[in-house]
Structure 1
Amino acid sequence: MRKIYYLKTCSTCQRILKSLPNLDTFELQDIKTEPMTVKQVDEMAKMAGSYEVLFSKRATLYKEMGLKDEKLTEADFKRYILEHYTFLSRPVIITDGKIFVGNSPKTVQAAIEFLSK
């Protein structure tokens, strides 16, 4: 499976997508217009090692809802990701049994290098 979960309206996601080689071989899912399913989020968490890895603590709602002051469990991370797309650390790139989560320069570079092989 070659899939990218992203936000079409996010300039950072757009910039990263443009930098990826062989983008045309991926299925793209705009998580705002096509919400993620429980199965999809479960599969991502299994590959990433936890729901917390998928969770964006930089999301505006994270601070607005006071979540930064709470002790969140894996079940909480999963629930929030499923409730609102903004809680997914984007983009999530899945290819050849490997997952790359988020937009840190290190993660993006690792994805580009992996896809360039």
Structure 2
Amino acid sequence: MITIYHNPRCSKSRATCDLVADANAANEPVEVVEYLKTVPTVEQLKSLHALLGGPLRDMMRTNETEYAELGLADENVSDDQLYAAIAKHPTLLQRPIVVRNGRAVIGRPPENVATLFA
């Protein structure tokens, strides 16, 4: 199963969906999650972060207005507070994110997703 956390209004996200369709030679099932409509829970975000690895803020859109307004750049903000902020304000989730075979990557640039098919 391939899961794409997708925003159809984002050109990078649309390009990533196209890349996955082209790379999916085995015709694995693909689930497209429009995360602004179907907001991931805190537990789902934690699982996604574990697959991505790296700092939690890497999976956040730090240039979004909510990020500044909520003071999320403050180093004293805990991971639990960051997860809660993403769950409440899903625009903070970096996009697109593709999950396949227990691994995940952020599709910025979309070519990053090719590593899941190598």
TM over 0.5: yes
SS in 2 for 1:52: helix
Which residue in the other structure is 2:101 paired with? 96
Which residue in the other structure is 2:35 paired with? 31
Q: Does structure 1 retain, via aligned residues, the 8 Å contact 2:100–2:116? A: no
Following superposition of structure 1 onto structure 2, how do residues 39-78 of structure 1 map, counting pairs within 5 Å?
39-49=43-53, 50-63=55-68, 65=69, 67=71, 70-71=74-75, 72-78=77-83
Hey, which of these two has a bigger chunk of helix by percent?
1
Separation in 1, partners of 2:9, 2:47: 24
Structure 1 residue 81, shift from structure 2 partner: 0.9
Which residue in the other structure is 1:110 paired with? 112
Separation in 2, partners of 1:69, 1:88: 15
- TM-score, structure 2 length as denominator? 0.78
Structure 1 residue 29, shift from structure 2 partner: 0.4
Structure 2 portions without partners, runs of 5+: none
Residues 113 and 30 (structure 1), Cα distance of their counterparts in 2 relative to 1, 3 Å cut: same
- TM-score, structure 1 length as denominator? 0.78
CA RMSD for the aligned pairs?
Answer: 2.3
Structure 1 portions without partners, runs of 5+: none
The number of aligned residues is 112
Q: Does structure 2 retain, via aligned residues, the 8 Å contact 1:7–1:90? A: yes
